[in-house]
Structure 1
Amino acid sequence: MVGAVDASRVGSVFTGTPPFEVTRRDVVAFADAVGATSSVHRDVDAARAAGYADLVAPVTFAVVVAQEAESEYIADPASGIDFSRVVHADESFAHRRPLVAGESVTTAVHVDAVTTRGPLTLVTTRTELTDAAGDGVATVVSTLAVRGADA
């Protein structure tokens, strides 16, 4: 069906997004946006005193990286997702360690589920964030609700 989310994409993995460079500016701007007041988000000396190489991103910063990577799948016409009909439904995080300014993070977006419930299709992705050494940093699970044409 034209315009419907393609459930055959479940199991697909998208890795074409360029590495995400975590910058101090990004960390501070995100901390401002979410009201994170810890000095480790804004003061390099405080972050280093706490044992980090640079500014520490707030835990929910991982969503910035994940959403950029998810756009590879969502923008693919074969996905059948009309972004103008998308509502964010859920997000969860599993961190192995904090994201730190100055690092480069690669992503792999897994399409884990496509489920239709009435006029909504729920699309669940799992984005694995990995550092330059290949070590896992975080997993972000996101569910989008895509409204059908009649919703």
Structure 2
Amino acid sequence: MPVNTELVGRVFPPTAPYLVGREKVREFARAVFATDPQHVDPAAAQALGYADVVAPPTFAMVIQDLTLQQLLAEPDSGIVLERLIHAEQRFRYTRPIVAGDELVGTLSVTGVRAVGKGAMVTSEAEITDASGAHVVTATSILLVGGDE
């Protein structure tokens, strides 16, 4: 089944709130070799003006993944997980993610473009904090292979 072009413009419901934990930030920082003290030491982060440890920029993928799971679960999407490659990722921040943040993501599909027998699906996850203020927009391009 080819990717459904009617996905363009579809907006998914907001995710459940995700509470960013200090240990999750530390674990993520270690996993991506982010060695700056602000990622693991609350005192270092506070010296820079933050309430707690600061997540590495790619941490937004944790919340974006929750939104992408909604897209991948759509029965009419035409996206077959076994034929999927995460081709591109971008982040546009208003402010860093900090331990203690409660974040919600809302995904919208902004493009579907044919590529050979497959397609490229572009989506944007708008990630906001508990007050509804923008934190980061995470843009993904998924390459979906076509039938052989």
Structure 1 unmatched runs, 5+:
none
Distance 2:77 2:17 in 1: 22
1:51 deviation in Å? 0.7
TM-score norm. by structure 1 comes to 0.94
> Hey, which bits of structure 1, 4+ residues long, moved more than 6 A?
none
Distance 1:119 1:79 in 2: 16
CA contact (8 A) 2:2 2:118 kept: no
How is 1:2-151 mapped onto 2 (pairs within 5 angstroms)?
3-150=1-148
TM-score norm. by structure 2 comes to 0.96
1:120 deviation in Å? 2.1
Residue 112 of structure 2: SS of its match in structure 1? Answer: strand
What amino acid sits opposite 1:30 in the alignment?
Answer: F
Aligned length: 148
Distance 2:96 2:3 in 1: 34
Deviation per residue, 1:25-75 (Å, 9 max, x gap): 211111111110111110111111111111100011111211221111111
Q: CA RMSD in A?
A: 1.0
1:16 deviation in Å? 4.1
Structure 2 unmatched runs, 5+:
none
What percentage of aligned pairs have identical amino acids?
42
